[in-house]
Amino acid sequence: MRPVCPPTAMKSEIACNQCPLRALPAFASVTPEQRDFIQGMKVRERSVPAQAPVLRQGDKRSELYTLLTGWAFRYQTLADGRRQILNFLLPGDFIGLQGNLLDVERTGVEALTDVTLCVFPGDALWPLFRAHPELGFDVTWLCAHEKLLVDDNLVSVGRRSALERVAMLLIHLFKRVRALGLADGDSVPFPLTQHHVADALGLSLVHTNRTLRRLHAMKMLHLERGRLTLGALASLQSLADYEARELEDRPLI
């Protein structure tokens, strides 16, 4: 098991009024008072290298984080080392709420790429709810939205075929990354390995490889050098029985 990476302060932190995420149409605007309150809660920024833990399963109550840059994933590991990836985390996602409410982290979070995190104290939630109920609702929305993503993945693992599972995951990630303004036409960054896909979808590595090759042969996707290209998004959505959802105007803490 890897040791927890100690908090690392960034040399030049980004102020909330200069946050590049807030300029994106994917995120809802906040009032100057709300933004200043969030800035007042923020204690520092933390960098975590790829493959290092952000939170470890079983940790006691910890700090809260907003993912500023990079990719991470939330997972749970069984006693024999088998891992289930529950959700992939992208910039703007809120991390650590579960551990603060339950006093212990039931799941872990690992950096998929190098990440930067905005750090808030674990006891910041109640002052936030009291001073700005609208921001408290935003935290609740973020929690409900992540549960929705996990629910979608549960339906995929329980009822969809391997082809449908992979298609659903790729559509979700493609649309989430595109909403962050990181798409280049039909292509987006894609740092996942086949191991990550297999652990997220309950498939063997061999089955995952075969499924990806089959989708490639159907000309629905192309994976190369850390980029995902979807050449037939409508067809892929039909294959996965994907229910389109708007991803704009989501909260950002």
Rounded to whole angstroms, the Cα distance separating 234 from 34 reads 39
- Topology at the third CATH level for domain 16-124: Jelly Rolls (2.60.120)
Please identify which residue in the block is written with the tokens 């659903």: 168
Per-residue pLDDT of the chain (253 residues; tens, 9 = 90+): 344 444 444 446 899 999 999 999 899 999 999 999 999 999 999 999 999 999 998 887 778 999 999 999 999 999 998 999 999 999 999 998 877 777 778 899 999 999 999 999 988 888 999 999 999 999 999 988 888 888 888 888 888 899 999 999 999 999 999 999 999 989 999 999 999 999 999 999 999 999 999 999 999 999 988 999 998 888 999 998 887 766 668 999 9
Per-residue model confidence (pLDDT) at position 180: 93
Global model pTM greater than 0.85: yes
Residue 89 corresponds to which tokens in the numbers above? 């985390």
Q: Where are the domains of the chain?
A: 16-124
Per-residue model confidence (pLDDT) at position 37: 96
Rounded to whole angstroms, the Cα distance separating 32 from 12 reads 22
pLDDT digits (tens, 9 = 90+) for 11-37: 468 999 999 999 998 999 999 999 999
